[in-house]
């Protein structure tokens, strides 16, 4: 009998210790792979992290699948891009998650855009006649590594708040990430320095922060207005402008159809460059720093090859 | 960004004002007292002058660096911190954190006009109006729709109520008048993994019953909804709903229980205790990253309008298969769906058992184009010998996310023997901020 009780207690202790152990790791869900990569870099083995949108998927149009409800149900921390990028799919997921920890306004809800440098903030009145404009500024802000640092900092502070015992661990991981990012920035800026001021056309308005940081000039878009598919009239105007200005490069996100960009390229002699705006967009962009390594080397070599100015 | 700038501004002040103004004079005074007799006052004055000059030099240096920094920040196009930093705090308002997830704004926003009264605008709910304009040509002697009709204007108001609840109102303005299509409070943060709703809402019976007209992939509703689930309005009543996730390693499983007043197209209460109830079990599983299967079964029970103690029991099955490749999510998708409903309605003399179903498919073949087909077959709730059946084909064009133009050819053979051949048209358009729909 005593043996039985002892065994029972031992089992209970084991179960409890496992439960405590699984409690110890902060379960993080990020809406995109970019945020997940940064959170992983800061959280290390003290957190588990999962992303909702894949890097090769248009983050504006994610389906609010019930499998994501399960993901959110168990989360301790939800990191979102914000600026209405996820407005079309995240709110019902959060409501249905039945998880008080990650409701907006709770401790476990982190809007990564709050400390970032946001561009394209509307200065005048806006209407939907301008297309699917983001009234709170361009949500593709993670494409400036300086904003990656801001995001990392915000994540570090949030993780330290949620798991105070690991605060110094997160601080140290942040320092390490910061160092790797600084090294990267030196590398990327050096690679892009000879091409400063290069004029390009992009499909969607995803590259504003990227262009700003690396000295590119975005002079036109394949979309006539944000979120509005290309029209023949706009394509004609774009071709004329590109010919007149000698634009050699069209940047396209991997989730857009290449038909119009290819047609424009054929008429203008420009090169279509498919560049992932997110971690996981291509195999090589396996984390936040690799994303820039891949994009910068691709871009710099294409600019050199096409002689774009 | 803003806090960064503010911090950098207060740091130099601390650096200068702290040690130089407060601490430095103290030792100087002490020194002055100790040596008052032995050292000339001139030396002390010199020392003070030197310290003052040093202090001024440091202050000027920091001031210049701060000014340079602010200028640099201000020159960054669109930098919010740079623009907002010099502004007095009164010109900004911090949006409540809850607003962001509900699709509302986040961060700091300018407050126009300044006065405290205008602050409340931030808390206004998301407001949208969705117009549903219908047209019809062809022949229908049984239930003819007008040639043109502004069928409905749906006004939606959605906001977070407090840290514990959110509210959603859908008011339908139609030629018949105004009604609360839905108006409910949702509690998303209950303990025990529960999600509760209180108010008037569409009952969780199957799939299409919960849809608003603008969510349907067709101009009309499936015939089974009209015949067995209470007409155009469907099952829609005042009550409470509680649902829970049943966690397991294999699938998403959700159980829902609902209690209603008993005042919908199907159920009718004669006394207070005649509440109707509903139960639903929904299972969902991702088959791959681009395909998934959604299965559900529902049961609803309550007294009907035939008389007190006469009841209707509804049982439903629904299945949905979806395909949407992630890399081409904005260009391609397929949705195949079927719903089957069994109704058993008690009447004075005998009970009527009827059955109905629809099966449909919708395929997006270009960014703005959708094609679909549906087949209807349904007996009527009051007379199972009358069967309405027929096919439809649908073509939809989306000029943008905010408007749709749709045409539907429908050939419906009514139970009485008449056949209706109709071409139905629809313009759907939405203005304002309309919250995302549940999957």
Give the mean model confidence (pLDDT) for residues B93-107. 44
Please report the pLDDT score of residue B46 as a whole number.
78
**pLDDT: is A107 or B105 the higher one?**
A107
Taking the Cβ of residue B437 and every Cβ of chain A, the question of whether any pair is shorter than 8 Å is answered with: yes
pLDDT of residue B118: 53
Q: Which of A58, A64, A87 sits opposite B103 (nearest CB)?
A: A87
Q: Nearest residue of B to residue A99 by CA position?
A: B189
Q: Tell if the CB–CB gap between A118 and B80 is shorter than 8 Å.
A: yes
A92, A114, A255 member nearest B106 (Cβ): A114
Q: What is the percentage of chain B residues whose pLDDT exceeds 90?
A: 65
Look at B330 and A109 and tell me if their CB atoms are within 8 Å. Answer: no
Over residues A195-221, mean pLDDT: 96
- Residue B7 has a pLDDT of 36
Whether residue A248 has pLDDT greater than 50: yes
Q: What is the pTM of this model?
A: 0.81
B-chain residues within 8 Å CB-CB of A103?
A: 98, 101, 163, 188-189
Q: What is the mean pLDDT of residues A164-178?
A: 97
Q: Does A116 touch chain B (CB under 8 A)?
A: yes
Question: What is the structure's pLDDT at B434?
Answer: 82
Average per-residue pLDDT in chain B? 83
- Residue B120: pLDDT band (50, 70, 90) is low
The pLDDT, as a whole number, for residue B101 is 40
CB contact under 8 A, B435 and A94: no
| pLDDT over 50 (residue A127) | yes
pLDDT of B151 > 90? The answer is yes
pLDDT of residue B340 exceeding 90: yes
Q: Is the pLDDT of residue B421 over 60?
A: yes
Q: How much is the pLDDT for A156?
A: 98
pLDDT band, residue B72 (cuts 50/70/90) = low
Interface of B with A in 314-343 (CB under 8 A): 322, 324, 326-331
Per-residue model confidence (pLDDT) at position B411: 97
Is B368 in the A-facing interface, judged by CB distances under 8 Å? yes
Band (pLDDT 50/70/90 cuts) for residue B20 is very low
Residues of B in contact with A120 (CB under 8 A): 78
Please tell me which residue, B5 or A142, carries the higher pLDDT value: A142
- Does A254 contact B at CB distance below 8 Å? yes
Residue B157: strand pairing partners: B127, B169
Q: Can you tell me the mean pLDDT for A135-148?
A: 96
Q: What's the pLDDT at B88? A: 38
A·B CB contacts under 8 A: 162
A1-22 mean pLDDT: 50
Confidence at residue A60, expressed as pLDDT on a 0 to 100 scale:
93
List pLDDT tens digits, range A53-63.
Answer: 999 999 999 99
What's the pLDDT at B44?
Answer: 72
Q: Does residue B286 surpass a pLDDT of 70? A: yes
pLDDT at B121 over 50: yes
Q: Where residue A257 falls among pLDDT bands split at 50, 70, 90?
A: very high
Give the model's confidence band at A227: pLDDT under 50 very low, under 70 low, under 90 confident, else very high.
Answer: confident
Q: Name the pLDDT band for A8 (thresholds 50, 70, 90).
A: low
Instruction: Calculate the average pLDDT of chain A.
Output: 92
Residue B95: its pLDDT value, please? 46
Q: Residues B223-258: pLDDT tens digits?
A: 999 999 998 788 999 999 999 999 999 999 999 999
- Asked if B146 reaches chain A (Cβ–Cβ under 8 Å), the answer is no
Residue of higher predicted confidence among A8 and A17: A8
**Is B436 an interface residue toward A (CB < 8 Å)?**
yes
Residue A7 has a pLDDT of: 60
Residue percentage of chain B with pLDDT more than 70: 77
Identify the residue with better confidence: B41 or A231. A231
CA distance B292 to chain A (A): 9
Question: What confidence score (pLDDT) does residue A195 get?
Answer: 96
Is B382's Cβ below 8 Å from some Cβ in A?
A: no
Average pLDDT over residues B178-207: 95
| pLDDT reading at A188 higher than 50 | yes
Element (H, E) at A267: helix A259-268
């Amino acid at each position: 009998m005593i043996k039985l009780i002892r065994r029972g207690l031992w089992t209970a202790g084991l179960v409890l210790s496992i439960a405590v152990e699984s409690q110890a790791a902060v379960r993080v869900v990020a809406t995109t792979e970019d945020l997940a990569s940064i959170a992983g870099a800061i959280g290390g083995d003290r957190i588990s992290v999962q992303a909702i949108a894949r890097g090769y998927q248009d983050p504006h149009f994610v389906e609010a699948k019930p499998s994501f409800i399960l993901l959110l149900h168990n989360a301790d921390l939800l990191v979102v891009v914000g600026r209405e990028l996820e407005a079309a799919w995240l709110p019902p997921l959060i409501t249905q998650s039945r998880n008080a920890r990650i409701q907006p306004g709770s401790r476990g809800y982190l809007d990564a855009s709050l400390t970032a440098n946001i561009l394209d903030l509307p200065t005048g009145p806006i209407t939907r006649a301008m297309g699917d404009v983001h009234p709170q500024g361009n949500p593709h802000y993670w494409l400036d590594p300086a904003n990656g640092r801001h995001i990392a900092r915000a994540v570090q502070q949030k993780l330290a708040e949620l798991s105070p015992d690991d605060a110094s661990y997160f601080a140290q991981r942040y320092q390490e990430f910061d160092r790797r990012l600084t090294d990267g920035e030196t590398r990327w800026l050096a690679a892009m320095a000879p091409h400063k001021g290069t004029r390009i056309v992009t499909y969607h308005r995803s590259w504003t922060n990227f262009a700003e940081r690396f000295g590119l000039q975005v002079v036109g878009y394949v979309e006539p207005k944000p979120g509005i598919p290309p029209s023949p009239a706009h394509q004609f105007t774009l071709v004329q402008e590109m010919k007149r200005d000698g634009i050699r490069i069209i940047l396209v996100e991997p989730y857009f159809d290449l038909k119009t960009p290819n047609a424009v390229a054929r008429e203008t002699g420009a090169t279509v460059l498919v560049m992932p705006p997110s971690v996981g967009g291509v195999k090589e962009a396996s984390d936040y720093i690799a994303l820039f390594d891949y994009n910068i080397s691709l871009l710099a070599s294409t600019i050199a090859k096409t002689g774009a100015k | 960004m803003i806090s960064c700038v503010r911090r950098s501004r207060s740091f130099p002040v601390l650096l200068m004002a702290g040690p130089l103004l407060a601490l430095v004079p103290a030792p100087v005074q002490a020194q002055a007292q100790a040596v008052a007799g032995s050292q000339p006052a001139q030396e002390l004055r010199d020392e003070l002058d030197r310290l003052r000059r040093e202090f001024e030099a440091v202050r000027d240096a920091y001031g210049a660096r701060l000014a340079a920094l602010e200028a640099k920040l201000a020159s960054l196009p669109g930098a919010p911190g740079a623009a907002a930093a010099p502004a007095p705090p009164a010109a900004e308002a911090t949006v409540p954190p809850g607003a962001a997830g509900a699709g509302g704004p986040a961060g700091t926003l300018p407050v126009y006009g300044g006065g405290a009264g205008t602050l409340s605008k931030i808390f206004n709910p998301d407001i949208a109006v969705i117009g549903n304009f219908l047209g019809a040509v062809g022949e229908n002697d049984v239930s003819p729709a007008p040639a043109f009709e502004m069928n409905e204007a749906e006004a939606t108001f959605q906001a977070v109520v407090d840290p514990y609840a959110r509210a959603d109102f859908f008011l339908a303005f139609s030629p018949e008048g105004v009604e609360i299509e839905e108006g409910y409070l949702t509690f998303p943060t209950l303990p025990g993994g529960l999600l509760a709703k209180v108010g008037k809402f569409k009952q969780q019976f199957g799939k299409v019953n919960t849809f608003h007209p603008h969510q349907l992939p067709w101009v009309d509703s499936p015939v089974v909804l009209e015949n067995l689930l209470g007409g155009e309005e469907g099952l829609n009543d005042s009550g409470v709903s509680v649902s829970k996730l049943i966690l397991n390693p294999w699938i998403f499983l959700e159980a829902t229980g609902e209690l209603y007043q008993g005042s919908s197209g199907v159920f009718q209460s004669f006394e207070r205790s005649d509440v109707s109830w509903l139960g639903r079990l929904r299972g969902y599983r991702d088959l791959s990253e681009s395909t998934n299967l959604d299965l559900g079964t529902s049961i609803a029970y309550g007294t009907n309008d035939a008389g007190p103690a006469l009841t209707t029991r509804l049982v439903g099955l629904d299945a949905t298969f979806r395909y949407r490749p992630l890399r081409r999510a904005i260009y391609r998708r397929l949705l195949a769906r079927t719903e089957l409903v069994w109704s058993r309605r008690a009447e004075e003399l005998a009970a009527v058992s009827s059955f109905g179903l629809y099966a449909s498919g919708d395929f997006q073949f270009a960014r703005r184009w959708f094609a679909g087909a549906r087949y209807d077959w349904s007996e009527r709730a009051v007379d199972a010998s009358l069967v309405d059946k027929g096919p439809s084909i649908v073509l939809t064009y989306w000029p943008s996310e905010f408007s749709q133009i749709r045409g539907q050819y429908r050939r419906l053979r009514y139970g009485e023997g008449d056949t209706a051949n109709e071409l139905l048209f629809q313009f759907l358009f939405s203005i304002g901020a309309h919250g995302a729909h549940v999957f």
